[in-house]
Amino acid sequence: MSNIGSYDERVKNFSWKQAENELEYKEGQIINIGWYCSDRICEMGKADKLALIWEGRTPEQQKKFTFNDIRGYSNTIGAFLHELGIRPEDRVCLFMDKIPELYFGLLGILKIGAIAQPLFSAFGDESLFVRLDNASTRAIITQRKHVSKIHKILDRLPDLEFIIIVDQPENKSLKEREVVFNMEASGPSDHLDIYPTKAESPSLLHYTSGTTGQPKGVKHVHYSLISQYLTTKWVLDLKDDDIYWCTADPGWVTGTSYGIIGPWSLGITQCVSDSGFSADSWYQFIDRHRVTVWYSAPTAIRSLMKAGDDLVKKYDLSSLRHLASVGEPLNAEAVIWSQKVFGKPFYDTYWQTETGSIMIGNFPGMKVKPGSMGKTFPGITGVILDDATGEPISEPNKSGLIGFKYDWPARMRTYWNNEATFQKKFKNGWYLTGDKSTIDPDGYYWFIGRDDDVINTGGHLVSPFEVESALLEHEAVAESAVVSKPDEVNMEVVKAFVTLNPGYEPSEELELKIMNFIRKKLSPLAMPQEIEYLDKLPKTRSGKIMRRLLHAQEWGEEIGDVSTLEDD
């Protein structure tokens, strides 16, 4: 039987106090996520239970850690940071590939009351700068392979005192602000004074992209554990003997909420692969480790579909008992395909960086409607809001903005140094997601699309503004406009329209140079997959670029009113 049991009964009798009671937490007491995910599990008698099976680029690069190892190594990292002078609420960035130090480091940072700032290791120097600068980050934990990006921007980051390198060769000399830390050579520490964080003490700072302006730092608190613990238990259905695999990178919120905090707060064994994606290697990984619960993304699922049904038959995937998806809409075809090849559907889930935990989902034992996001998690009040009035729509199947009552434990508390933008996320008391949907008569949500220009490519949000700004820094580009275009695997990808400065001519070679410039400056995710050269961009008479015309062109939509378009 599933952990959630009867969905209707859970909704009827719901209280977040159930999670508080199971975690033995009472209002006003100390609540520290780092302690709950390691020390507490050991105190429950699971110190010797396997917590992490880690693989590097090849299966031979494998390491295993118990919960006592996690407790000890997170203590070591916490003590090292404390000795450097890192204090409560200092921001410490984690800028690494999916190596053990990333996972244990996050818990160590939280244990000393500092704020963990995980960033995707493929970010380029400019994307890194914007986020470190906004947070006034004091220390960054990284690998030697990523240090050059940091040094490019170091002179613009006066608050960044420590560049902590976890894999520094002994014969390599140190540069400005660099510090060496070798986790395994230091060994696990048996004791660390856990900082007495309370419910509203800040814990994590995740960055997300918006329509305009720079990325926003989403501030979460230690009380988010309450939501993350219970949603992991009920939606992902994790049980004591499970082997769990969340494919998300902790540089993104899924990788922390459900790749670190959720499973380890439940004392669950999880697997991590740092080998990148290929259908063969993923199936081998599931087969090799007898994965039972798998949480992945629609982009990956569609890529597995492209690899073909026959490949699935080469491996023993019979250990799988529950599959879930997150990050972007899961199309109906993927759910039907999953049922055909794995004998069970992927259960779609919906939430955001700002929500901190799953808000809408398909629950074990509940009827899955392929293409639907499912129903609201018990305790979550969700509505569809009228675009014009911001009032809830009572009739089914009518589209509007998804809104939530702002009262669940894992909700963001503000945008870092940007309270004004945070306040704009509310209307008539409802938290606005920026996503449009309908609700059918049975209470199932059906995603329609974003209400703004943010591009969701492969489950990652890309700001058109950020890409346009970076394009203008290329010597050949005079003007730029960025929109999404349809893509079979990623649903949508970045496309750029540019006009060129005098002396430059359109060519494939220049297109590749501009693409590579963006990849290095921002990230592979933000890199345009196509660049179209125009003599001039469509603008209003006041000079504003009309991106909606370009978007409509890419998606085959009606152009609409063009009365404000400037004259030729």
Judge contact between 471 and 514, C-beta under 8 A. yes
Q: Is the pLDDT of residue 353 over 90?
A: yes
Max Cα distance, the chain (Å) = 75
Q: What percent of the chain has pLDDT over 90?
A: 84
Q: What is the DSSP string of 196-263?
A: ---TTSEEEEEEE--SSSS-EEEEEETTHHHHHHHHHHHTS---TT-EEEE---TTSHHHHIIIIIHH
pLDDT in tens, 205-237: 999 986 666 899 999 999 999 999 999 999 999
pLDDT recorded at residue 568: 46
pLDDT in tens, 539-557: 776 666 788 889 888 888 8
Give Rg (Cα) of the chain: 24
pLDDT recorded at residue 142: 98
Report domain extents, the chain. Answer: 7-437, 455-555
Helix, strand, or coil (residue 18): helix
pLDDT recorded at residue 211: 60
Q: Given phi > 0 = left and psi -120 to 50 = alpha, else beta, which region is 103?
A: alpha
pLDDT in tens, 452-475: 778 888 888 888 878 988 998 899
Find the angle CA(118)-CA(232)-CA(350) to the nearest 5 degrees.
75
Tally the residues of the chain: 568
pLDDT recorded at residue 565: 56
- Give the rounded distance of the alpha carbon of 98 from its chain centre: 14
Q: Which residues pair with 500 in a beta bridge?
A: 477
pLDDT recorded at residue 271: 98
Tokens of 30: 């100390």
pLDDT recorded at residue 128: 97
Domains 7-437 and 455-555 in one fold: no
Pairing of strands 162-165, 178-180: parallel
pLDDT in tens, 56-66: 999 999 999 99
pLDDT recorded at residue 454: 82
Q: Could you tell me where the DSSP H helices lie in 86-211?
A: 100-111, 125-135, 147-153, 183-186
Q: Could you tell me where the DSSP H helices lie in 396-437?
A: 419-423
Q: For all residues of the chain together, what is the average pLDDT?
A: 94
Judge contact between 36 and 67, C-beta under 8 A. no
Q: What is the DSSP string of 30-94?
A: ---HHHHTTHHHIIIIITTSEEEEEE-SSTTSEEEEEHHHHHHHHHHHHHHHHHHT--TT-EEEE
Fold observed for domain 7-437: Rossmann fold (3.40.50)
The order of strands in the sheet holding 91-95 is 178-180, 162-165, 139-142, 91-95, 115-118, 202-208, 216-221, 414-415
What are phi and psi for residue 283, nearest 5 degrees? Answer: -65, -40
Judge contact between 326 and 279, C-beta under 8 A. no
Angstrom distance (rounded) from CA 426 to CA 334: 34
H and E: helices and strands count for the chain = 20, 27
pLDDT in tens, 396-443: 999 999 999 999 999 999 999 999 999 999 999 999 999 999 999 999
pLDDT recorded at residue 428: 94
pLDDT in tens, 286-344: 999 999 999 999 989 999 999 999 999 999 999 999 999 998 888 899 999 999 999 99
CATH class of 455-555: alpha beta
